[in-house]
Structure 1
Amino acid sequence: MPVAKLYHVPLSPFCRKVRLSLAEKKIDCELIEERYWEMGADFLRRNPAAKVPVLKLDDLVLSESAAICEYLEEAFPEPSLMPRSAEARYEVRRLVGWFDDKFHNEVTSKLLYERVNKKIIGKGFPDSGNVKSGARAIKYHLDYMAWLLEHRRWLAGDVMTLADFAAAAHLSSLDYISDVDWNRSDVVKDWYAKIKSRPAFRSILADQIPGFRPPAHYADLDF
């Protein structure tokens, strides 16, 4: 196994997705918190886009969470987080894009970024309009997940895939600040309980953000 270092922000869903992939593949990784908004020279040398996550594997430096996860899948194929058929792989990529694009823009950026990120980076108070918009939008997304899970064992099909990790990364970040109504759908709640019980989730459930205390159920595997 390579020497791995992940430059990350604990509540970033993009960083969490990579952390879950690394842990599932049993790749030990040193976590280094990166204050990316300070635009430090060392960090910009690692990723001129000034975004986390950045994964360093020996001398290889990787950025962009989707590309990192695809690299890990190709370089460390077991256990697999992508199905075999082209059609099934397409569905995984579609759903990863759904959560990292649509869900992120409509929900995560409106709730997590307003409630937490603004305070951490000193950008003022939450925009109530954005918070209300995110609170409305998450209901639609939870209903869509429920529809998928009523027809499939996991989000993209019969086996757990990167699509489940992408969704769980966003929802776990929001769950840390009590912004997920788990009573809205039993099937979604059962799916999340199942995925957060995996050993790969342990470090995420142990995260503690100064100034923000998670709800009691956050790290409870039985809710």
Structure 2
Amino acid sequence: MNVERILHHFPLDPASRQVRLALGEKRLPFTDNPVRYWERPKELSQLNPSGMVPVLVEKTDRGTLVLCEARAILDHLEETVVEPALLGRNAAERAEARRLLQWFDRKFEYEAGGFILHEKMEKRLLGLGAPELANLRQGREGLKNHLWYIDQLLAEREWLAGKRLSLADFAAAAHLSVIDYFGDVPWGDFASVKTWYMKLKSRPAFRPLLMDRWPGLTPAKHYDDLDF
């Protein structure tokens, strides 16, 4: 069955990046539609009443399916495109991948990414003034704690959820990659995490993310360097 996919997303949004990585890993072509979601465009609100990205629209000869936000999209892709399996090959792997998806989308976002990206990115996009140093310090301290946790996982596993690449790796990489865009990841203090991230950066699915640029937001010099 022929499927036409349109992804409405913001390039520097971690949730949008998770979906882009999954689509790329599953080799599913899609039309890219970057959205200024903070301006509440009418088209986006009509697709998703929450006004949030990402939104994936699938069109087939049977009709149109609108999938709103990352978890719904990722679950749909796993159900409908079974290979490669990105949640795991058995129940234990899938449970661990789901646990880590929650970890990065909630705990990491709350303790680290939310602080850094609000000060470094959202304030610039919304014209809210200079970053508050206290919030940046809190976010960076939280980031170090989470990098330490990732380091502990990688000491026992090849990938975050086990022996195989999974959506857990894409969730972590999506969050870290946006922070890395602004040069705030202390890679030098976490060698094994850096090696893991370099493996992900080298995957074909990751390459479009490395080409992302947004007006007024300049990436760190090493951002698109595979051997940084």
Task: Report TM bin, short chain.
Answer: over 0.9
What is the 5 A alignment of 1:200-219? 200-219=205-224
Instruction: Specify every segment of 5 or more residues in structure 1 that has no aligned partner in the other structure, as ranges.
Output: none
For the residue of structure 2 that corresponds to 1:137, the secondary structure is: helix
TM-score (norm: length of structure 1): 0.97
* Corresponding letter in the other structure for 2:218: R
What is the 5 A alignment of 1:1-223? 1-58=2-59, 59-223=64-228
Residues of 1 paired with 2:208 and 2:73: CA distance?
Answer: 19
- Which has the larger displacement, 36-45 or 191-200? 36-45
Q: Percent identity?
A: 47
Residues of 2 paired with 1:186 and 1:3: CA distance?
Answer: 41
* Stretches of 4+ aligned residues off by more than 4 angstroms: none
Residues of 1 paired with 2:3 and 2:220: CA distance?
Answer: 36
In the TM superposition, residue 56 of structure 1 has moved relative to its aligned partner by 0.7
Residues of 2 paired with 1:55 and 1:37: CA distance?
Answer: 18
In the TM superposition, residue 64 of structure 1 has moved relative to its aligned partner by 1.9
**Residue-pair matches, total:** 223
Residues of 1 paired with 2:198 and 2:42: CA distance?
Answer: 41
In the TM superposition, residue 119 of structure 1 has moved relative to its aligned partner by 1.0
For the residue of structure 1 that corresponds to 2:144, the secondary structure is: helix
For the residue of structure 1 that corresponds to 2:98, the secondary structure is: helix
Q: CA RMSD in A?
A: 1.1
Residues of 2 paired with 1:45 and 1:23: CA distance?
Answer: 26
